[in-house]
Amino acid sequence: MKKRISALLLALLLLCAGCAQGDGGSREGEYSVYFPTHQGREDGAALDSETRALPAGRGAVDGLLRLLLSGPESPELASPFPRGTTLRGWRVEEGVAFVDLSEAYGGLSGVDLSLADGCIVLTLCQLESVEAVYLTVEGCPRPFRDQMLRASDLVLDNGEGGPSELEAELWFPSGQVLSRESRTLRLEVGDDRLVAALQALLAGPETAGLSPVCPEGTRLLSLEREKGRLVVDLSEEWMKGEQTAQRLYAVVDTLAALEPGVQVSFRVEGQDLEQFGETDLSLPLTADPVPDPSQSP
């Protein structure tokens, strides 16, 4: 299964990034298991690995997950998982390891969540059978993190642990057309670039002459991937005001600037939006190079 995904930005300085693509252990039956380091290490590493043998009677994926959840043996490393985190199930299909964890894992956020995700991805992706990892909690996709993760998606920073920047193209109404506003967005650890761009779009333009895309108070509830498309779930405020195709294409074109060719569907408060004004939304929308608000797709 090959699927284009947006990168999860992790500010991780790894001692050996190549270990994630290694041959699966220094000796037969031994594997690298990744854990966060304790703060204050002189080399500044956020993650490191220790070599472990699989538990007796366990296969590679199941055994590595159980080693992760049992915690490190080295006193220099720490467990990234909240107390009570358990493995509910897993399977591997077409190179993707689908891993379902208990509710406790859903309590992680920010840097802690990024480190935990990174430990799982780097540990499992050393296996020849695993190219990517898809994580769920209690069987449900994770808000703003509904994506497959590969070791190559763990972007290493310069070792300073600071935020990164995203050059985004946001599209806002300008009279009867959409106009582009170039914006440099600040991404903190674990931020998704598509989510960041949409949140900036919903917050409104910074350039004179451009109009807001949505009524004040409209919030992005989630951004998920389903069957090759992006599903944008917005709060009930989205339905206020004039329901024009121009507003829809502002969202679609902003996402397409970061992910060309993307297909976009809409929800409001978790309910599929099949009509918005005169625009039929029964099928996903794709970017219009020159959006025409007077025409339905």
pLDDT tens by residue, 236-265: 999 999 999 999 999 999 999 998 889 999
Do both 142 and 175 map to the same domain? Answer: no
Do both 125 and 207 map to the same domain? Answer: no
Do both 175 and 140 map to the same domain? Answer: no
The model's confidence at residue 37, banded by pLDDT at 50, 70 and 90, is confident
State the DSSP string of 224-269. Answer: EEETTEEEEEE-GGGGSS---HHHHHHHHHHHHHHSTT-EEEEEET
pLDDT at 45: 67
More confident residue, 211 or 290: 211
Q: Give the count of domains, the chain.
A: 2
Name the token pair of 221: 């509830």
Residue 120 has a CB neighbour count (10 Å cut-off) of: 23
Is there a domain that residue 291 lies in? no
Domain that holds residue 202: 164-286
* pLDDT tens, position by position, 153-199: 664 443 444 457 789 999 999 998 999 999 998 876 556 788 889 99
Mean of the per-residue pLDDT values for the chain?
82
Do both 203 and 281 map to the same domain? Answer: yes
Contact 202, 209 (CB under 8 A): no
CA dist 12 and 114 (Å) reads 9
Stretch (H or E) spanning 199: helix 193-203
Contact 33, 67 (CB under 8 A): yes
- Tell me the sheet residues that pair with 264: 230, 285
* pLDDT tens, position by position, 62-105: 999 999 999 999 999 999 999 999 999 999 999 999 999 999 99
CA dist 228 and 262 (Å) reads 8
Do both 141 and 230 map to the same domain? Answer: no
Is there a domain that residue 2 lies in? no
The model's confidence at residue 228, banded by pLDDT at 50, 70 and 90, is confident
Which of 127, 153, 179 is where one domain is finished? 153
pLDDT at 147: 76
Do both 79 and 121 map to the same domain? Answer: yes
Contact 120, 133 (CB under 8 A): yes
One-letter amino acid identity for 193? R
CA dist 109 and 123 (Å) reads 20
Comparing CA positions, the residue from 155, 132, 115 lying closest to residue 9 is 155
Which of 129, 153, 177 is where one domain is finished? 153
Do both 243 and 146 map to the same domain? Answer: no
What percent of the chain stands above pLDDT 90?
A: 57
Residue 164 burial by Cβ neighbours in a 10 Å radius (0-12, 13-18, 19+): middle
Do both 138 and 241 map to the same domain? Answer: no
Do both 129 and 41 map to the same domain? Answer: yes
The model's confidence at residue 141, banded by pLDDT at 50, 70 and 90, is confident
Do both 147 and 174 map to the same domain? Answer: no
Is there a domain that residue 98 lies in? yes
Is there a domain that residue 7 lies in? no
Which of 99, 122, 153 is where one domain is finished? 153
Do both 235 and 272 map to the same domain? Answer: yes
pLDDT at 3: 28
Is there a domain that residue 9 lies in? no
> Which range, of 50-54, 120-124, 186-190, 214-218, averages the lowest pLDDT?
186-190
Q: Could you tell me where the beta strands, DSSP code E, fall in the chain?
A: 30-36, 47-53, 87-93, 96-101, 132-137, 148-149, 164-174, 177-187, 220-226, 229-234, 263-268, 271-272, 275-276, 279-280, 285-286
Residue 246 burial by Cβ neighbours in a 10 Å radius (0-12, 13-18, 19+): buried
Is there a domain that residue 57 lies in? yes
Is there a domain that residue 31 lies in? yes
Is there a domain that residue 158 lies in? no
One-letter amino acid identity for 261? G
Do both 31 and 112 map to the same domain? Answer: yes
